[in-house]
A and B are shown apart, each in its own frame.
Chain A
């Protein structure tokens, strides 16, 4: 719970909140609250802040539970007390407040808070009353002073908000100027600005790459310039005539300046049923060859691509010099003829990217006949719907040129009218476009040429056939895009091959182009920004301390230290303790435990981590090895606290392991000349080294002798003294026995019971690095091995080991003899595991049997002999 987490005195909090602000910005009231973010809660401090003209409620997120300085407070949200300001309680039946919400015209959404001390209604009530008073006062002053006489004349006249000139109803009440001081606390474009959605983990942080693209787009205006390209569009319905020998120059080389891009459209290249049924899609090379011969002579050209569907063909030709600027080119075709499928009608299109803009050229041949207006509109829609390029449809392009035989006729029956300007009024395309039924958002230049259809081929005469077709502007060129300017729009009367006249139009189009130099500069700048962004957006975690001092550590006792990790960055943080090396996969020593060893913290949250040390018999020799001959505290372990996508923090576990008989080799114990409790590790390591060369001071460790002696005296009739289940392992009494043994306290009375003494004996035997019977030829474990040779093996052990073994087995033998409840199987198994260690499972039974051989027969004579010589 969040209750009472901020225990500092109110005045202190008041002070540090005040330090967040400039002189003239006064904190009037403070309220402790929290917010719920998903299942988590996050503490907030709300502060009512006043300037001369305005008030606002600030919500601060806390970097740690108990903020100590103003830098522990991070502005999380600001609610200016303006006309749209609301502070609304959720009160249900009682006077106690469940929660309340804050909103303001300037904050995007309503935020819900809960008071941290719901029982202490005063803090909340007084805060709320004050806020309400201010709001009422502001409303009143705004209302009672009609705008005309609103007096506060602002000193500088530059602003229109001053005096009676205010026209906006929000004028006095929360004008922008009044709240301009808040800008300092809103770090809008700041890369570090807290994005609440990122902080609470509901939205991922932009990765470097996406951030880079985002920034690049944002700064586009700094390096994108418009470059003008000449575009030449041409369309001709050839009525099935061979046009590969026709001189096309009047149609294609009619512009003054050489165009950059040509879009040349043909219809009815082939009217044969075969071409229709097979959906001929191979571009007509002979026609293209003729095109290439007929272009403007002022530049070198190359064919970019051609797309054909039956009679329709669209060829894009570009100036060789701009070819490298075209980074993408795709083609596509759509049939809208019979069954909405056949290619006798439909459209073909080319989509390309030139510098930073996309261009689309469409050549379409729409349904014929005067009456088929509706059908032509549908064809147009159908082409728009079905002519799709890999990532976009026609409408997504920056520049679109739609050309072709659109087949719109004149809604006119009389042939009397010959003035084409009058005739244009009856043009179906113009009528349909004016009614927004087709070519929405497209432009067409003014038509200043006579209808392109229908002529007697070879002449400029109107159709003289029986059908006596009405003239019409079937062949048209339209465009979409604001940066296109048409230069000319004409037909070519001279070319008389077909019943249609060719049409062409030239344009100037502004194409978005990267200014390479500017781009380089912006790119560099953005790289820096993104580097900074990435560096600043590393998840960070604060640890309360990096040294955990355990001071003195004794065998078999539990110690723990707690420390806090806090997330005071603006990102959610995942942390875990990491394996130290590739070879050592542990996160800490075996005798240390960490809880929790991983977790997630959202902004403003902290967590307590407990590190525990418990040195048991299995691990004590490792601690002794670590302590070495160091006197005093040493770094016992270094924990690596890893922050995902961030840094690693080393946490040093410091402490001093106090010497004890547990864990020491029996040889060392036989060399001691004073109680262990009085010894330093330096002395002990020295003794340990000497123990291999110098004679032992005593024949067996006093500690073992004392324990067995005690058991022999008072424990012989004890029930369940030695059990496989070691229920006395965790027992405070063990530690009292430890201290008694370490101080060699024979003078004092034994502090334990037979059961704890037995457990202490087992622990003492199992805690040394090597087992008692060591080294051992594993052959002796073979049940068929002669017992004589087993005795030989014992004979070969170092004197202290041998003596302990003999003394122990003699005691156990005696114990089994005397105690009616003693189970030799259990005792042999228990001691077999402790005295002989082996990682092989099969040795389990063998170890038991080995010990059993000693326990079942008296080895008194052997022992007496051995003791004699030792």
Chain B
């Protein structure tokens, strides 16, 4: 019999303030394309992309959320099924960075306890407009024991890497369980309670 298209299905979520580039990050990752026109996401969108990690085909279903304030209450209801969450801020927007704490709190309140998180400082190509230093990004990630990367959807910096690293972190937790076709019921088993504060330097 022919092999299945994928071995595992991971559901990921992109959250962060409006305009930080969540949709662009997703678009770059799924379609390897970039558009600079800003179209606010009014709702929840998703794309899929299959990656291969450690010999396993992993289908990533990535949900892109509306960042606008008025949708915050409603978007939190989408956190529940996510196995990985990307918190995105914009390195040229101080407020979006400050709000990371708020987004983290949202995750604590609404997401699965063992959800894998990663902070992304997007738009790292715009060096002349930078207001949030990489060190501050790293510091907040370290403080919360979360992975961190600076990315640029426009210049395609670290986009693939970020998703693969997040997927790999989830893979570490799955006890080799093959996942069935059912998209909603993906069980992740936590292996070790102790989690090393993993953050990594990036953005060459």
Contact = CB atoms under 8 A, between A and B. Distances in A.
Given A535-B47, A582-B77, 13 more contacts: A208-B5, A209-B4, A213-B2, A527-B5, A530-B5, A531-B50, A546-B43, A580-B74, A581-B77, A647-B43, A649-B43, A650-B42, A652-B70
B66 interface: yes
By secondary structure, the B interface counts as: mixed
B109 interface: no
Interface of B: 2, 4-5, 30-31, 42-50, 52, 57, 66, 70-71, 73-74, 77, 80, 181
Contacts of B71: 638, 650
Contacts of B66: 650
A534 interface: yes
Contact of B44 (A208, A534, A546, A647): A647
Contact of B74 (A208, A216, A546, A640): A640
Contacts of A575: none
A815 interface: no
Given A580-B77, A582-B77, A638 B70 contact: yes
A527 B7 CA distance: 13
Given A216-B2, A648-B43, A650-B42, A534 B48 contact: yes
Nearest to A209: B5
A172 interface: no
B77 A531 contact: no
Nearest to B30: A535
Contacts of B31: 532, 535
B47 A648 contact: no
A641 B2 CA distance: 38
B185 to A, nearest CB: 15
Contact of A650 (B5, B43, B47): B43
Most buried by A among B43, B47, B70, B74: B43
A213 B2 CA distance: 8
Interface string A203-218: 0000011001100100
Contacts of A650: 42-43, 66, 71, 74
Q: Considering the complex of A and B, which 4 residue pairs feature the smallest CB-CB distances, nearest first? A: A649-B43, A648-B44, A581-B77, A647-B45
Contacts of A524: 52
A638 B30 CA distance: 29
A531 B30 contact: yes
Contacts of A648: 43-44
Given A527-B50, A534-B48, A582 B43 contact: no
A118 interface: no
Interface in A628-662: 635, 638, 640-641, 647-650, 652
Nearest to B50: A527
Given A209-B4, A530-B5, A582-B77, A647 B46 contact: yes
5 contacts: A527-B50, A531-B48, A638-B70, A647-B46, A650-B66
Contacts of A638: 70-71, 73-74
Contacts of A652: 70
B193 to A, nearest CB: 27
B24 to A, nearest CB: 16
Interface string A510-531: 0000000000000010010011
B37 to A, nearest CB: 16
Contacts of A531: 30, 48-50
